[in-house]
């Protein structure tokens, strides 16, 4: 078997992997970033909405920003509309073109000095004395042993790297959002607003979205709870019904299916010689399903911590825990609040959701964030939401 040696091997070239690779390479490390697909960023499995917070992690580039939105309309099960609008936008601000964005991030990693190999799949972990010491990879039928001082699992929702290292990454069906999405064109839409649709008939234990991608195109999709998905009740069945009703004359130019982990973060995202980043570490807001900016933030922290660990020649779990405490400090609270809010809202009946939507009808919430929405809801429905208030405030 062929052999290779690097300081760091990063498995998966999504936003988490590319930013980790870029940051570690910027600190002078010899980094290999591998991606099993033949093209980074493809197939797109995402609705591509991000908050303006993304500007903190990467300078904006028109090449990968497809649309800018100024607000969000949220529709209750009976159609009642709630409007979020404003200068301060925490949740949705841009709709990306991820096939370009993900390639751009990987190119930045390459410019910083990382080596990149596509069509290269990690198939097992090299271990010694309880430490991760690299990965076995397969590229076009050829196996290579890649030795590394630190292994990074940035291999997304289906992550195997964590499992190989003995980390419990299992997801219960109720903690998975099963999604289907169409890229639709020739539809009538408000190109300045993202739209969200709630209700058990539209998307049980989830929601439907319409994220504009220009004048007459949008990502139209939905996610449902993995525990309610079944015969004739698959995400695609709900999406077909939604589209028939909302965009009967629209044209579908792409289809995709995917899953989002809604469990909240793993109890542990590090092991001896190993770090998990992004969806692999379940760093996704369980209420909204958004994970791109968390993956980027965690990737930057991971790259910095790995650089320190290499300098100190200490790759123990204890040393790498700096990563865990830093990312939890940066956004762990938001994920915890999101988990509590998800558990509360996903169990409400349509009648309760309508009551909540009616309480905000005609009110313009001048901050586009789930935090502002929750606060306004609690203010207007103190009795109904006392349990939630105790959890999130
Ligand atoms: C339907 C849907 C809609 C979404 N919408 C949004 C949204 O609007 N906004 C938002 O913020 N988030 C959204 N998300 C979540 C978002 O896509 C993820 O949180 C984000 O992509 C996480 O980045 P990542 O780098 O951790 O993982 P990924 O982007 O999934 O990248 C992981 C990479 O690892 C590769 N890989 C896996 N296994 C191996 C292996 N063994 N060897 C080599 N390579 C491997 C994969 O091919 C993949 O390229 C959505 C997700 C889905 C499914």
Q: What residues does each domain of the chain span?
A: 2-45+99-171+265-332
Average pLDDT of the segment spanning 359-374? 76
What is the predicted pLDDT for the residue at 88? 59
Atom of ligand 1 nearest to the CA of 34: 43
Q: How many helices (H) and strands (E) does the chain have?
A: 10, 19
Ligand 1 residue neighbourhood (C-beta within 6 Å): 11-17, 34-37, 45-50, 121-122, 154-156, 160, 179, 181, 221, 258-260, 278-280, 284, 289-292, 295
Q: What are residue 82's phi and psi, to 5 degrees?
A: -115, 135
User: Pairing state of beta strands 218-225 and 207-212?
Assistant: antiparallel
| 305 in Cβ contact with 375 (< 8 Å) | no
CA distance 134 to 148: 5
CA 288–ligand 1 middle distance (angstroms) = 15
**Distance in angstroms (rounded) separating the CA atoms of residues 8 and 27:** 12
pLDDT, tens digit, 9 for 90 and up, residues 292-331: 999 999 999 999 999 999 999 999 999 999 999 999 999 9
Q: Got the DSSP string for 282-304?
A: T-S-TTT---HHHHHHHHHHHHH
Q: Region 37-49: what's the mean pLDDT? A: 96
Check residue 372 and give its pLDDT.
78
Q: What is the pLDDT of residue 392?
A: 65
Q: What is the Cα–Cα distance from 318 to 307, expressed in whole angstroms?
A: 15
* Ligand 1 nearest atom to the CA of residue 48, by list position: 8
Spatial contact of 152 and 277, defined as CB atoms under 8 Å apart? yes
User: What integer is the mean pLDDT of 22-35?
Assistant: 98
Residue 246 has pLDDT above 80, yes or no: yes
Distance of CA 167 to the CA centre of its chain: 20
The yes-or-no verdict on residue 282 having pLDDT over 90 is: yes
In words, the CATH class of domain 2-45+99-171+265-332 is: alpha beta
Q: Exposure pattern of 302-328 as b/e (b: 16+ CB <10 Å)?
A: bbbbbbebbeeeebebebbebbbebbb
Please say if the pLDDT value at position 212 is more than 60.
yes
Please state the atom number of ligand 1 nearest to the C-alpha of residue 102. Answer: 29
* Ligand 1 centroid – CA 322 distance (Å): 24
**pLDDT at 91 > cutoff 70:** no
Strands (E), the chain: 2-11, 31-34, 49-50, 65-68, 71-75, 81-85, 94-96, 115-117, 120-128, 131-139, 142-153, 176-185, 193-197, 207-212, 218-225, 251-261, 270-271, 274-276, 364-365
Residue 231: other Cβ atoms inside 10 A: 6
Q: How many residues does the chain have?
A: 393
- Probe residue for ligand 1, chosen from 20, 32, 36, 218 as the CB with the greatest number of ligand atoms within 8 Å: 36
- Taking alpha carbons only, the member of 227, 183, 232 closest to residue 48 is 183
Task: Determine contact, residues 108/22, Cβ cutoff 8 Å.
Answer: yes
Centre of ligand 1 to C-alpha 259, Å, is 9
Residue 89 has pLDDT above 60, yes or no: no
CA of 179 to the centre of ligand 1 (A): 13
Q: Would you state the pLDDT for residue 376?
A: 84
How many angstroms separate the alpha carbon of residue 96 from the centre of ligand 1? Answer: 14
DSSP code of residue 381 = -
Centre of ligand 1 to C-alpha 49, Å, is 13
288, 338 contact by CB (below 8 A):
yes
């Amino acid at each position: 078997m062929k052999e290779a040696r690097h300081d760091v091997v990063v498995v998966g070239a999504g936003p988490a992997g590319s930013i980790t690779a870029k940051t570690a390479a910027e600190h002078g490390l010899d980094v290999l970033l591998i991606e099993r697909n033949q093209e980074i960023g493809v197939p797109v499995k995402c609705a591509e909405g991000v908050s303006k917070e993304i500007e903190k992690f990467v300078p904006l580039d028109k090449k990968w920003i497809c649309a800018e939105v100024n607000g969000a309309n949220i529709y209750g099960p009976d159609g009642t509309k709630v409007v979020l609008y404003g200068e301060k936008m925490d949740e949705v601000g841009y709709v990306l073109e991820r096939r370009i964005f993900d390639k751009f991030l990987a190119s930045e990693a390459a410019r910083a000095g990382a080596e990149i190999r596509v069509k290269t799949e990690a198939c097992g972990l090299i271990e010694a004395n309880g430490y991760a010491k690299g990965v076995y990879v397969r590229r076009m039928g050829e196996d290579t042993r890649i030795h590394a001082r630190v292994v990074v699992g940035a291999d997304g929702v289906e992550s195997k790297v964590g499992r190989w290292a003995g980390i419990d990454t299992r997801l219960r069906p109720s903690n998975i959002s099963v999604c289907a999405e169409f890229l639709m064109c020739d539809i009538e839409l408000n190109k300045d607003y993202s739209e969200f649709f709630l209700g058990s008939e539209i998307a049980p234990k989830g929601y439907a979205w319409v994220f504009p991608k220009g004048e007459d195109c949008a990502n139209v999709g939905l996610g449902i709870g993995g525990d309610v998905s079944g015969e004739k009740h698959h995400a695609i069945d709900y999406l077909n019904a939604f589209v028939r009703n909302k965009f009967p004359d629209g044209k579908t130019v792409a289809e995709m299916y995917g899953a989002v982990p809604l469990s909240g973060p793993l109890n542990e995202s590090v092991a001896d010689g190993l770090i998990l980043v992004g969806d692999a570490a379940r760093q996704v807001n369980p209420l909204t399903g958004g994970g791109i900016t968390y993956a980027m933030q965690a990737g930057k922290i991971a790259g910095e911590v790995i650089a320190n660990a290499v300098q100190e020649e200490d790759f123990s779990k204890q040393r790498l825990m700096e990563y865990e405490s830093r990312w939890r400090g940066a956004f762990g609270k938001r994920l915890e609040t999101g988990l509590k809010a998800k558990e509360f809202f996903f169990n409400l009946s349509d009648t309760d959701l309508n009551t909540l939507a009616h309480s905000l009808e005609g009110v313009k919430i001048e901050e586009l964030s789930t935090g502002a929405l929750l606060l306004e809801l609690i203010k207007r429905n103190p009795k109904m939401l006392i349990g939630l208030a105790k959890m999130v405030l």
